Structure 1
Amino acid sequence: MAFPRKTLTALLCGLVLACSAQAEDVVFVQIASQTNPASKDNAKGMAVGIQAYFDAVNAKGGIQGNKLVLKIKDDGLNAERMVQLTQESIADASVVGLLGSINSAGLAEVAKRDLAGQGKIALIAPLQGDKHVIGAANVFPFRSGYANEIDALLKEAKNWGKDTLAVVNMGIAFGPALAQVALERAAAMGLKVVSHSVIDAKPDNISASVQAAVKATSAAQPKAILVLAAGRPAYDFVKEMRAAPGGMVQIYGVSVLLHDDLVAQSGKDKAHGIVLSQSLPYPYTMYKPLITEYQQTMKRYAPKEPISYSSLEGFAGAKIAAEAVRRAGTPSRAGVLAALQQLGSYDMGGISVNYGPGGRQGWGGVELTIIGSEGQLRK
């Protein structure tokens, strides 16, 4: 049956409009602070990685014509504020999932109150390794656990005869929880903690608190120092400690201590030789298809941003979120959550996660890296 030209044009326009009306933004929310000095570097890196992956998907037409959108909410690294923003996001029907959240104390409270479970929303790839958080309902991790990192660092210290340790942690976020794990694991391994200092991460109190921590650590004369801090509290401590008596001892740090910012803020001479545990795959060498995809995507969609662990983590979380949207068919909160719950083993490119009735596991590895004389990070 032939249609007049005007009628055919009208029909085609109607079809285009109908398809356009069906397409919609698929909104994920990241709750993380780019203003608090203890979290801003990780928060920005995660956001850059997420946005790069979303931009790459959207440039190819999105998913079934739907555009992936990231919205960032800054909680100031305040636990109660994270709870409020999580509740606010759950109440917003346009939000299909939470992605790349940062705030250990806040996430612990979100898990304790079962907000993701009761809100029937997925919380994907939080920067968190606490088993109580990543084991909570509807949390889908990518990174390995903090306890695994602490174990790896303490075993390294013991193997090298570093049997007396100083533990230095910041008093917020992951600091207190990791310090407790470190103290317990050190004792179990026969390592003696000769000093334990807590750095007040409030911007106005950092300097005085760092000086007090340096003084106590220097006086204790440990064979190694375990730094459980990130951002300015960690950078300032390393810089001041290296200049103090006995400050050239071995320093160990966890993955949230970003090496590139540590080198930039503390100086490569101060950072040289520091050993960092990594709960994420090594992002600087294209040894896995996922890393190749990540580097190529960053080069195209975030060319001014550095390759880093934090942006890789955001990228991986975004890839998991996008896969859930693809499998959901309809980009709804319930569909995304159901897709993740039934994801099973998902090969992201030589690196896999596994979500199902038997549990939700991230990639599962821990690697030790060391900062070289020129500030480069080596495996």
Structure 2
Amino acid sequence: MIAGWMLCLMLAAPTAGAVAATGDKGKAGGEKVLIGQVAGLTGAVAGSVKEQVSGAQVYFKAVNDKGGIAGRQIELRVEDDGFDPKRTPDAARKLIAQGVTALFMVRGTGNTESILPLLDKEGVPLVAPATGAASLHQPVRRWVFNVRAPYQMEVAAAVRHLTTLHVNRLAMFHVDDAFGSDALEGFNKGLAQYGQKAALVQSYKRPAGDISKAVKAFVQAAPGAVIVVGSASETANFIRQFRAAGGAAQLITLSNNAAQSFYDDLGKAGSGVIITQVVPDSGRVNMNLAQEYRKLAKEQGQAHSDAGMEGFMAAKVLVEGLRRAGNDVSRDKLRSALESIRDFDIGGIAISYGPNDHTGSQFVETSIISSTGRLLR
């Protein structure tokens, strides 16, 4: 449940605090700290995006209720790009013109890559892009501060997990874009590292369209497991068709689909699907981060979710940077403050940055969807 936040975020007009940035590369003005997010509130990833926004807002509200940042309230403004990389730059420019101190959780590999020149030109930090693209980690991007582990690390963890279970003949079905190519590189590295060989690799163009031939090919190849890389709707479509066609392989997908909306969409076909996660399970009882998220969400009348956990975790890192930046926060000062973070414990996960490392976290674990549509460790 997103309560009234989402409508407010989508319709809010610029306030007196939303002035164009000038001077010290984005000196914040007015009584609020403005943060901008560009993400697909509509389109293929809408469900998980809304959960991520909800999780971030849970933490921002908790901070605001205690006085905000040096007495200033945090305001998150979200622009919908429909998960279309062609729309992302204009949406980002709109937010930058409103005077946001930072961009936050831009969703999608192609979407994020499309604004990298803009970040450099305007000197605007991007905190916690909602993608694990290797291109955002190496070479180090001066204005990009990742929080989640890279996709290649996720895929390698999936291959390792399958190998320990003695599952062989691994396959991959991936979207034919930067995201899919990144995952494929991690897949090939994992195969080499753990002595595995690919049973079948196929890609598809977005939007996926008719994938019946691909489904048939994967069923006939009879691999031990298939790693499916794509948006939630595309991945769910493949999984449902694969199971309906008699496919018996273990199915795995990545953290971009770790959202309750995805599990619900899969229905019965989701039972037994493995998810790699770059944030802890929101229901985890032995980690302070998850406990804090559930407690605050409950107090605010919000549902907790795994995608929401990513938003919550990202918000904690951003707020730490804002606090370290001091009372007179600017874009430059926030960038320097974030880069000063070393082994910052956000509740069981350490976040570290430095001049030559903007990765943040290397946390990766695997979970499985239960027969009731919930994620189990």
TM-score (norm 1): 0.84
1:184 to partner: Cα distance = 4.6
| Structure 1 residue aligned with 2:314 | 317
1:104 deviation in Å?
Answer: 0.5
How far 1:173 sits from its partner (Å)? 6.1
Q: Which has the higher helix share?
A: 1
Q: Which amino acid is the alignment partner of residue 126 of structure 1?
A: P
Query: Which residue of structure 2 lines up, in the alignment, with residue 125 of structure 1?
Result: 128
Deviation for aligned residue 1:300: 2.1
2 CA distance for matches of 1:184 and 1:292?
35
Tell me which structure has the larger Cα radius of gyration. 1
Distance 2:152 2:78 in 1: 28
Aligned to 1:94: 99
Alignment of 1:190-205 (within 5 A): 190-202=195-207, 205=208
Per-residue displacement from partner, 1:188-242 (whole Å, max 9, x unpaired)?
543332322334442xx53x13x23212211222121111123111111111111
5+ residue gaps, structure 2, are: 1-28
| 1:332-347 alignment, distance < 5 Å | 332-347=330-345
Within a 5 Å distance, the mapping from 1:248-259 to structure 2 comes to 248-258=248-258
Asked if the contact 1:142/1:317 (under 8 Å) is kept, the reply is yes
Asked if structure 2 preserves the Cα contact closer than 8 Å seen for 1:104 and 1:128, the reply is yes
- Looking at structure 2, the residues matched to 230 and 354 of structure 1 have their Cα atoms a distance apart, in angstroms, of 29
Q: Describe the superposition over 1:217-268 as per-residue Cα deviations: whole angstroms up to 9, x where unpaired.
A: 11222121111123111111111111113x1221122111225333311223
Alignment of 1:348-367 (within 5 A): 348-367=346-365
SS in 1 for 2:63: helix
Q: 362, 372, 376: which one pairs with 2:374?
A: 376
Q: Do the aligned residues in 1 keep the contact of 2:289 with 2:348 (CA within 8 Å)?
A: yes
Whole-angstrom distance in 2 between the partners of 1:271 and 1:163:
21
Using the alignment, how far apart are the partners of 1:229 and 1:291 within structure 2?
Answer: 27
Identical columns (%): 28
Moved more, 42-51 or 283-292: 283-292
Distance (Å, rounded) in 1 between the aligned partners of 2:136 and 2:355: 17
Q: Counterpart amino acid of 1:148?
A: M
CA 327–46 in structure 1, closer or farther in 2 if over 3 Å, else same: same
Q: Which residue of 1 aligns with 2:290?
A: 291
TM-score by length of 2: 0.84
Aligned CA-pair RMSD: 2.2
What SS is found at the alignment partner of 1:355?
A: strand
The amino acid that maps onto 1:125 is A
Greater mean deviation of Cα atoms: 41-50 or 77-86: 77-86
| 1:72 aligned counterpart, secondary structure | strand
Q: Which residue of 1 aligns with 2:14?
A: none
Q: Deviations over 1:137-156 (max 9, x none)?
A: 22112111111111111122
Q: Which residue of 1 aligns with 2:232?
A: 231
1:83 aligns with 2:84: no
